């Protein structure tokens, strides 16, 4: 049966457009957070702690969130989380207007916003197969990555421009408004996001264990969760490393925003080819190549002689991520039974995001104690070890094509 183009899929386009606007707002404020903390404290470690606090909720809430989201109305969860995130970032703007902002309020906001993101993100991932046919999941993943990459081109420069010209509060007001736009788009969606087969009465612990057991019995998906977490360990450190390296090269806040925007161009290019790469190359070829490319490109950040060239290196790093994500994300969603989407994805994300607080905090500590360049070398060694492990992994080498996977409704 011929499928309609995604552009004609009303509910998917509403979900997609709302998240594009929300991502734009988050991209505008995310680069401002460390700049604001560095301006307030002159401490990379403090900026690293804030980044770690925004990621710790994955360790605390991923597993129960997945089980609860398979019980709850996923759309309602997403709406409540976006409203909560809008209120949280708006309190930062208010405190800046009143000149009463403290590092402790930033820490609290980072934790709250991160906690709401956990619930929202797991619900969103579980909802995507409800609005997009399985055969179109790679295309939807690629379209998402392309749009989010475009948001990361515009967002950082827009956020730092607001920060430098209209005041420190402006990017946070914009972020709050973007969350409200996402809420509006979600309200208009007609598709029911709830699980096709709601779980029978079971205690929360049993439901969590069911998702963990399913993931554990899938050695390839299990390894991909570990690999994604290990890559995100470095990704969590990258933003602060880039900012400090740029400041050492004499970059202003608006210049730093430009660096992140240049990086976003790489993300868009990676997204545009991600779907084609998934069709033309095997799972093994894509995963192994992208991890080795990370290992080669990452140390170049320490060698860039100017901040514009640093942006070019950052773009190469951004290029790799969407290609990797399109392949592993569509593969994973096609394999997970619908009734277990929330629980299995939360288990996956516990591993995929659980190491990010450590990476974020470690980067701030290493930069403050040893400097940015030695910090780059430490994380480069980590990438090299990952590339070797992935090349030798039997399950990656023997992964079946997407169209030959078992029917996902069979649990």
The span from the CA of 191 to the CA of 175, in Å, is 27
pLDDT at 216: 85
Per the prediction, the chain carries an average pLDDT of 85
The span from the CA of 51 to the CA of 34, in Å, is 8
pLDDT at 405: 53
pLDDT at 275: 67
Share of the chain above pLDDT 90, in %: 40
- Kindly report the number of other CB atoms within 10 A of residue 57's CB atom: 22
State pLDDT tens for residues 283-332. 888 899 999 999 999 999 999 888 889 999 999 988 888 888 878 877 77
Enter the tokens of residue 161. Answer: 């421009």
Phi, psi (5° rounding) for residue 2? Answer: -75, 130
- Please say whether the dihedral angle defined by the alpha carbons of residues 258, 261, 263 and 266, taken in this order, is positive or negative: negative
The span from the CA of 62 to the CA of 115, in Å, is 9
pLDDT at 410: 35
pLDDT at 409: 38
pLDDT at 411: 35
* Residues with Cβ within 8 Å of residue 179, at least 6 apart in sequence: 22, 25, 82, 83, 85, 86, 89
Provide the CATH number for the domain formed by 10-404 in this structure: 1.20.1250.20
The span from the CA of 80 to the CA of 275, in Å, is 32
pLDDT at 407: 42
The span from the CA of 386 to the CA of 382, in Å, is 6
With 0-12 / 13-18 / 19 or more C-beta atoms within 10 angstroms meaning exposed / middle / buried, residue 201 is exposed
Smallest CA-to-CA distance from 111 within 288, 308, 304, 357 is with 357
- Please say whether the dihedral angle defined by the alpha carbons of residues 81, 116, 38 and 98, taken in this order, is positive or negative: positive
- Please say whether the dihedral angle defined by the alpha carbons of residues 239, 240, 244 and 250, taken in this order, is positive or negative: positive
Smallest CA-to-CA distance from 135 within 330, 270, 281 is with 330
Asked whether 227 and 390 are in contact (CB, 8 A), the reply is: yes
State pLDDT tens for residues 159-177. 888 888 888 899 999 999 9
Which residues of the chain have a pLDDT value below 70? Answer: 1-3, 195-204, 275, 338-339, 341-342, 401-411
pLDDT at 80: 94
pLDDT at 408: 43
């Amino acid at each position: 049966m011929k499928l309609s183009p995604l552009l004609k899929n009303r509910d998917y386009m509403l979900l997609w457009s709302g998240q594009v606007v929300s991502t734009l707002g988050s991209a505008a404020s995310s680069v401002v957070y460390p700049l604001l903390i560095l301006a307030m404290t002159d401490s990379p470690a403090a900026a690293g702690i804030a980044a770690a606090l925004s990621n710790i909720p994955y360790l605390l809430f991923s597993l129960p969130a997945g089980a609860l989201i398979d019980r709850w109305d996923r759309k309602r969860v997403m709406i409540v989380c976006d409203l909560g995130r809008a209120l949280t970032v708006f309190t930062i703007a208010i405190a800046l207007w009143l000149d009463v902002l403290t590092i402790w309020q930033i820490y609290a906001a980072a934790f709250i916003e991160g906690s709401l993101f956990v619930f929202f993100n797991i619900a969103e991932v579980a909802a995507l197969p409800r609005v997009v046919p399985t055969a179109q999941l790679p295309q939807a993943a690629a379209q998402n990555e392309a749009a989010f990459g475009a948001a990361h081109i515009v967002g950082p420069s827009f956020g730092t421009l607001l920060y430098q010209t209209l005041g420190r509060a402006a990017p946070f007001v914009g972020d709050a408004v973007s969350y409200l736009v996402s809420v509006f788009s979600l309200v208009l969606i007609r598709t029911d996001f709830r699980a096709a087969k709601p779980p029978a009465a079971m205690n929360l612990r049993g439901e969590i264990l069911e998702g963990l057991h399913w993931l554990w019995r899938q050695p390839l998906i299990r390894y991909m969760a570990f690999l994604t977490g290990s890559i995100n360990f470095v990704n969590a450190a990258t933003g602060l490393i880039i900012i400090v390296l740029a400041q050492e090269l004499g970059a202003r806040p608006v210049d730093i925003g430009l660096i992140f925007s240049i990086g976003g161009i790489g993300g868009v290019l990676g997204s545009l080819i991600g779907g084609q790469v998934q069709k033309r190359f095997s799972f093994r070829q894509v995963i192994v190549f992208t991890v080795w490319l990370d290992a080669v490109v990452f140390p170049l950040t320490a060698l860039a002689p100017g901040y514009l060239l640093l942006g070019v290196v950052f773009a190469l790093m951004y290029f790799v991520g969407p290609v990797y994500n399109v392949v592993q994300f569509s593969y994973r969603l096609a394999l997970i039974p619908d009734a277990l989407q929330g629980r299995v994805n939360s288990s996956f994300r516990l591993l995929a995001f659980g190491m990010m607080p450590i990476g974020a905090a470690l980067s701030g500590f290493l930069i403050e104690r040893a400097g940015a360049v030695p910090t780059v070398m430490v994380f480069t060694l980590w990438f090299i070890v990952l590339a070797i492990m992935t090349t030798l992994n039997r399950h990656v080498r023997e992964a079946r094509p997407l169209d030959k996977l078992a029917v996902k409704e069979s649990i």
